[in-house]
A and B are shown apart, each in its own frame.
Chain A
Amino acid sequence: MTDVTKKDFRKNNDAFVYIITTYRADLFRTAMAFLKNKEEALEAIQEVTFRAYKKRKQLRDIRYVKTWLIRIMINYCNDVLKKSKRLTDDRKLENKASVDNSMSIWLEDAIHHLKKADQELIYFKYFHGMTFPELAEQLKILESTVKTRVYSALEKLKRQLVDEGGEL
């Protein structure tokens, strides 16, 4: 991917598709975490491709393309959830119950209730496995600031979970 330049990304559709394809699995996993169903996650891929294409000129630096795409995905998913008002849908809990991962459901729900910036951090760090230095570079903030923000997001998560009676 290093050989795709920002200019290619903006001007050349093949280069654009190549980049999206490189991160398709990351995008799909993110969508699944929010939307829970394959059809909707595929729809999300379609929509994010479309949105990213339209906004492709706003990308500041091609090195940030992965975080940039995941952000668009998280935004899209939040929109969908908000519109269908099913953030804590009973149906979802019921469907998932058989999987015996109720802890994960509470956790996920708590993550989805965080404010957007915190949500993104948790996803970048724990879902996509990015390191603190990587995050610092991608988000153009000091590493120490990244750490502070991640830990405060974790604190908020913990508080929410305790409020809801989850054991940690």
Chain B
Amino acid sequence: MKKQLKEWKKQYDVLEVRDHELDQAIEAGMQKAAKQQFWKRWGITPVVTVAIIFLSFITIINASPTFAAQVAKYPGMEKLIELVQFDKGQKAAIENDYFQVINKSVTKGDLTLTLDGVIRDAHGLVLFYTISSDKGLERVRLENSKITDDKEEELTYHSKSYHPQNEVQGTIEYYTEDPIPFDDFTFTTEVVGVETLDNGVGNQLRETISIDFHAENTKESIQYQVDETVKIVGQKVHINSVMIQPLRTTVNLYADPENDMRILSIDDITLVDEKGEEWSGIRNGMTASGTIEDENYEVYLQSNYFEQPESLSLTFSEIQAVKRDEDYFRFDLEKEQILHDPYDMFYDLTYENGWLSISMDKMENYHMNPFGEILDVDGNRIEQIRSSFSHQSNQKTSIFKKAIQTDERIIDIKLSGYPNWIEQKVAIPLN
């Protein structure tokens, strides 16, 4: 029995959390306490706070005239500006009336979920939602969301991502491998929030809510077959095709497995039109899928679907790469030593409480997670239950941390990014 209890405890010895996250939570708790004292003193109701929050929104609305005009069509849609600010493709979809207004609300318990609208194309679905409640809520979020058709068949998706914008609004994005096979959708999700100002009971509210909606894809994708191979400092990259859809552009390319360098990432891949306008990678969401030396590798860019450029080129110039047979770190966890690092960029290895940490001199253009697969000395994969990674920077240093559970003394970690580049300008005209 005691052994089992020990095992049980051990499971929680590795903390999947960063100190600053804990400190933030403590800070939030203190703020809550301070706020409550404030309310008590002044007897102000939450309604007043709502008014204050609204005032601060007004200043944000200063987008382009077409955008503003478009947004004005849908009452209460001003907030869309914020939700799409990092994505030129989604912004253009709204400007071009490709945003489908749903505006359906369902209330369960104390929680109301509104599906404001969606943008849908053949392979993607972006849902814009708002959560409201008569009660003051914090830490509001959606969980376990799913999309089903009218026969309750779940949509098979390739990626799903939550993009909460603030306490009440956000988007959820689904992307599929095959075209989405239906137009009548049911969105089912758990809506979760914690009551504020309830004398510290901290009730968690959780309701499962479903909303039906209809959304059609009316936009054909634009396909460019490229089939070109380019050489960058002797390394081959094959570009197969570019597919432009309203929500995003998919570039299918891959690095030649015969290259004598292992390419890890193409950092600045961009579509450029004749006027020099650029559509670069996704800034807030899924940036690529697959492994880069696999023929099915895909990189995603912001969409220029609604622009009609006369000419369009795919460009890039900076590629992260390391010598092929040196594409790994080797660490001695016991002595806390770096035994192999291809270009000796990293230092200060520590391994404590299941967290591995290494540092490098800060570089403005390097933020990627360098850690890939973890292997033992015989090259066997060391499976990890958790996949926590953290990246912190100060003025001079960047620190990369990864949770690793192992009893091995020597481990290899395959690189998934590395601050070493080969550089050469490449421009491939698409039309």
Contact = CB atoms under 8 A, between A and B. Distances in A.
A46 interface: yes
A46 B7 contact: no
Contacts of A32: 12, 16
Contacts of A17: 26, 30
In this complex, the member of A33, A47, A51, A83 whose beta carbon has the largest number of chain B beta carbons within 10 angstroms is A47
Contacts of B202: 43, 47, 50-51, 76, 79-80
Nearest to A85: B206
Given A46-B28, A126-B9, A28 B4 contact: no
Interface in B1-42: 1-2, 4-9, 11-13, 15-17, 19, 21-26, 28-30, 32-33, 36
Contacts of A20: 26, 29
A89 B134 CA distance: 29
B15 A42 contact: no
A38 B16 CA distance: 7
B401 interface: no
Interface in B131-148: 139, 141
A54 B6 contact: no
B48 interface: no
Interface stretch (A4-12, A97-105, A131-139): A97-105
B172 interface: no
Interface in B286-319: none
Contact of B29 (A50, A99, A122, A129): A50
B168 interface: no
Contacts of B24: 42
Interface string A94-127: 0000010101100110000000000000100011
A131 B159 CA distance: 48
Interface string B343-379: 0000000000000000000000000000000000000
Contacts of B200: 47, 50-51, 54
Interface residues of B, number: 37
A84 to B, nearest CB: 6
Nearest to B32: A50
B204 interface: yes
Contacts of B139: 39, 43, 46
A21 interface: yes
B7 A104 contact: yes
B194 to A, nearest CB: 6
Nearest to B6: A126
A51 B36 CA distance: 12
Contact of A29 (B12, B21, B29, B204): B12
Interface string A78-94: 01100110000000000
B30 A13 contact: yes
A25 B15 contact: yes
A83 B7 contact: no
Contacts of B385: 99
Contacts of A127: 8-9, 12
Contacts of A104: 4, 7-8, 11
Contacts of B1: 154, 157-158, 168
Contacts, number: 113
Nearest to B13: A29
B103 interface: no
Contacts of B50: none
A39 B141 contact: yes
Given A29-B12, A33-B12, A49 B26 contact: yes
A53 interface: yes
A88 to B, nearest CB: 16
Contact of B8 (A13, A24, A40, A108): A108
Given A28-B17, A104-B4, A107-B5, A83 B30 contact: no
A70 interface: no
A51 B199 CA distance: 9
B203 interface: yes
A161 B212 CA distance: 44
B29 A48 contact: yes
B22 A42 contact: yes
Contacts of A84: 204, 206
A49 to B, nearest CB: 3
Interface in A34-87: 38-43, 45-51, 53-54, 76, 79-80, 83-84
A46 B15 contact: no
Given A38-B16, A158-B1, 11 more contacts: A25-B15, A29-B15, A33-B8, A45-B29, A50-B33, A53-B30, A54-B33, A54-B200, A103-B4, A103-B7, A104-B4
11 contacts: A24-B22, A33-B8, A49-B28, A50-B33, A53-B29, A84-B204, A103-B4, A126-B8, A126-B9, A168-B1, A168-B4
